[in-house]
Amino acid sequence: MTINNIDRFKAKIARGELCVGTSITFTDPAISELVGDAGYDFTWIDMEHCPIDISTALNHVMAVRGTGAAPFVRVPAGDPIIIKPVLELHPAAIIAPQVQTVADVERVVAACKYPPVGIRGFGPRRGRGFGGQPYPEYLTDADEQIMVIVQIEHIDAVNALDEILAVEGLDGLCVGFNDLAGSMGLSGKVTDPKVIEVTEEVIRKTRQTDKTIGISMGYDCEAVTHWLGLGLQWISLGGDFNLLYAKLKGMLDDVRAIER
C-alpha cells in the first residue's frame, strides 16, 4: 500500500473502471478529506490558478491518505524548479499545464524522474517514510509511485500528439477544454464541434497507447456520457467552489420560492 494511494488508482484503471475526482481550490485541507470520504478516487489540487502554496498543498496531500483517494497536484508550470519541491510531498501525480511541444513534455518527465531517466534531485523525506525506508528499497519503484501527466490544452500540442505519446516516462494526458478552445480561436466555446472533434482525436489516439487519458471539466451529465463512450479512463468534475456555490444557491432559491 502506497501512502499516496496511487496503487488503488492504477488498479482501478487496469480493471477498466472509471476514476472520478474533483478540483480542490480552497486552502482548508478538510475539503480534500471530505472529497476522499465521499468516495472520490482522486483529488485535483490546483496550484496553477488558486492560492495554494507548497505548505497548503502538503496539507491537502496528507489529508486524503486514509481515505483511499489519490492526491493529484497541478503545478503552475512545467518548470523543474517548480516541480521539484512538489515531488517531495509524494503526491500520486504531477499534472503539468500548457505543454505545447515534445520538448516541453520531455522537460516535465525529466524533472519527475531520478537519474539516469531524468534529472530529479535526490532529497526524499515523506516518500520514504521520513527515513524509515532504505534508499535502495525506495529507489526500486520511486519513479512509478508518482504519475506524470501533461495537459493537452493547446492546438500545437494536438498537432504534436503522436510524438508526445511516444515520450518515455510519460504516464498520461488530460484534455483542458477552455485553453484548447482559446488556442483554436474559439475562446469560451468549449462545445464547438471543432473542439469536440480535436478532443475525440486525442482520446482515440491515447487509447491506442499505454498512456492513460483523462479530462477536467464542469459537471454535465450528457457530456460525461459522450466522453465515457469514447473510452475516457479518468475525469475531474467541477470543483469545491462551484459545487458549493451551486448547492448554496439552489438551497436559497428553494427557500425563497417557499417564502413567496
Residues marked as catalytic: 49
The residues facing 217 across adjacent strands are 237
What letter represents residue 148's amino acid? V
Cell numbers at 217, concatenated: 471539466
Query: Is the CB of residue 60 less than 8 Å from the CB of residue 52?
Result: yes
Distances, alpha carbon 28 to alpha carbons 33, 52, 143, in Å: 10, 10, 29
Which helix H or strand E contains 148, and what residues bound it?
strand 147-152
3-state secondary structure 209-237: CCCEEEEEECCCHHHHHHHHHCCCCEEEE
- Considering only CA atoms, which of 159, 223, 143, 153 is closest in space to residue 181? 153
- Considering only CA atoms, which of 91, 85, 87, 77 is closest in space to residue 47? 77
| Residues in the chain, total | 260
3-state secondary structure 83-108: HHHHHCCCCCEEEECCCCCHHHHHHH
